[in-house]
Amino acid sequence: MSSVTVESMGPAGVTEAKEKDIREDIAWAQINHDVLKSMERPRLTFWAIFAGAFAMFLVGVGCEVYQYQRGMGVSGMNNPNAWGLYIATFIFWIGMSHSGTLLSAILHIIHADWRKPIYRFAEAMTTFSLMTAGLFVIVHLGRLWQVYYAVPYPNERWVWPNFQSPLLWDATAIFTYLSSSILFLYVGSIPDFAICRDNATGWRKGFYTTLSLGWMGTDRQWRNFRVAYLVIACFLIPLAVSVHSIVASDFAMSQQPGWHITSFPPYFVAGALYSGCAAIITLFIMLRHVFRFEEYMTMPILDKTARLTFAIAMVWTYLNLIEYSSVWYGDSEVAKQTLLMRATGPYSVYWWAMNFLGSVVPFTLIFKKVRANLTAMMIISLLLNLGMWLERWMIVTPTFSHGFYPWTWDHVYFPTWVQWGIVFGSFGWFGMLFMLFCKLVPSVSMYEVKEMVYHRTLATKHAKREA
C-alpha cells in the first residue's frame, strides 16, 4: 500500500485513522523519475494490451472494408432499423468523453485536488472517445466518398446542410468539443513536456522541445497559464453539457415514440458522466498496474472516484425512472406501448440487463470492502459500462422496431457480424490510441502532483501549528 495512514483526534476525542490521497513526503524529483520511467519501461502487460487493442482494431478495419466494398446491406440495417449499433455506439463514445471534463474542469473549479494524479488520462480519454465517436458518424454514412456533402460550403449543386436539424448542431458541437478538448489537453501538458524535454535524449529530445514551446516555468508563464486553464475549463463545462444535450436532441426533437421526452437531455448528460466515471475506474486500475503508479493512483483516490460514480449512478437512475413515468403517465399510447415492448418484448433481456447493471450493480459500491478491492472494482466498472452501452442500444433500437406504423412492428432487429466487428474494432482503436498516448505523454501530471503534495504539506504544517 502506497498511501500512508495518519491519526487525528475526532470531535469526540476518538482517534480516527484516515488514509491520505498521496504521500506528503514524496520528493519532487521522485515524482519526475517515476512518471518518466513509466514512459520508458512499462510492464510487459502494456505491450500485451497494445497488441490486443491493435488486433481488435484490425478486425474493425476488416469489417469496414467489407462493408465499403459490399454496401450497407451487409450491416443488416433496413427500413425501419436505420441506425443500428453504429448510432448506439456513437452515443456511448460521446458519453465516455464526458469523464475528462468532469475531472479536469468541474473538479478543477471546485478545487478538488485529489483529481490531480488522474485527470490527465481522463482528458486523453475524452479526446480519444470523441475521435472514436466521430468515426461512427462516417461509418454510418455508408458512402464514405461523399462525406464532404455534409460540409457547409457554397457549391454548384446548392446542397446545403439543414441548419434546423439537430444532426448539424451535433456536428458543430462535436467539432467544437473535440478541438477544444485537444487544445485543453495540450495546453495542460506543456509544463510536463518541458520536464520531458529536460530529461530526454535522442529523438525524444527534439519531440518534447517542440511540444514544450520553450516553457521555462517563469512566473509570467505560470500566471498566464493558470488564467488560460481556468477560463478554458469554464467554457468546457457548458460545452460538454451542450454536446450531450444536442445528441439527446437528435432523439427528443423527433416525434418517435420513446424519444419525444423533455427529460432526455439531462438524462443523456447524467448517462454520459456515469459511463465516463466507470471508464475512469477501469483505466485507473489498468494504468496503476501497467505503469506501477501505486504511489499516485492510490486507493483513497479510487475510493473517491467510486463514490462519485455511485452518486452519478443514482442521478441516472432517478432520471431513468422519470423517463419511464413521463411515458407511463403521458398521453401517448404508442409511446406507452413502446415502453411495454421494451420490458416484455423481444428486447426485454437487454432492457432488464440495462436496468440491473445501471441501477442495481452500483449499490455494491456502498461497501468499503468492495471499493478497496481492485479486482472487484475492475469487474464492477466493466459491468457498469456494459449497462451504459445497453442503455444506448435500448434507446435506439426498440423505437425503430415499434414506431407509429404497424408495419414496423414485425421488424425485430439484431445486428450482423459486420456491425459487431466494427463496434469491437472501435474499442481496439480507442485502446490503441490511449496506450500510445500514455507512452508518449505523461499520463500522470507531474507538476499538478507536485502542487498537490506542496499544498497538502503546507496545510498539514499549518494544522499542526494550530493544534
Partner 1 sequence: MIIKRILGLFDNFDQASAAIHEVRHANLPELKMDEITIKSPIEHPDVEEVLGERKSSVRKYTLAGALLGGGMGFLFIAAAQGNFFAQQKGGKPIIPLPPDFVLTYELLILGAVYVTIFGFLVCAGLPARIKGELYNAKVSEDQVGVMVKGNSHVVSEIRKIFERHHVLSVQEEFVE
CB of 262 to partner 1, least distance (A): 16
Closest CA to 427 of 57, 127, 59: 57
**Residue placing its CB nearer to partner 1 in the complex, 178 or 306:** 178
**Residue placing its CB nearer to partner 1 in the complex, 144 or 234:** 234
CB of 215 to partner 1, least distance (A): 7
The one-character DSSP state at 106 is I
Q: How far apart are the first and last CA of the chain?
A: 28
CA dihedral (387, 390, 391, 394) positive or negative: negative
CB of 178 to partner 1, least distance (A): 11
Angle CA 24–30–32, to nearest 5:
115
**Residue placing its CB nearer to partner 1 in the complex, 79 or 218:** 218
**Residue placing its CB nearer to partner 1 in the complex, 184 or 310:** 184
Question: Can you tell me whether residue 7 is helix, strand or coil?
Answer: strand
What is the C-alpha to C-alpha distance for residues 189 and 106, in angstroms, rounded to an integer?
18
**Residue placing its CB nearer to partner 1 in the complex, 229 or 352:** 229
The one-character DSSP state at 73 is G
CB of 23 to partner 1, least distance (A): 15
CB of 176 to partner 1, least distance (A): 4
418: which 3 cell numbers? Answer: 459486420
Q: Which residues bind partner 1 (CB under 8 A)?
A: 27-29, 32, 152, 154, 158, 160, 163-164, 168-169, 172-173, 175-176, 179-180, 183-184, 187, 190-191, 194-195, 198-199, 209, 213-228, 231-232, 235-236, 238-239, 242, 246, 447, 450-451, 454-455, 458
CB of 227 to partner 1, least distance (A): 4
Phi and psi torsions of 412, nearest 5°: -70, 135
Residue 30 makes CB contacts below 8 A (sequence gap 6+) with none
What is the C-alpha to C-alpha distance for residues 319 and 248, in angstroms, rounded to an integer?
13
Half-sphere exposure of 457 (CA within 13 A, CB side): 12
CB of 206 to partner 1, least distance (A): 13
Strands 5-9 and 15-19: antiparallel
| CA separation, residue 89 to residues 212, 236, 388, 433 (Å) | 35, 23, 10, 18
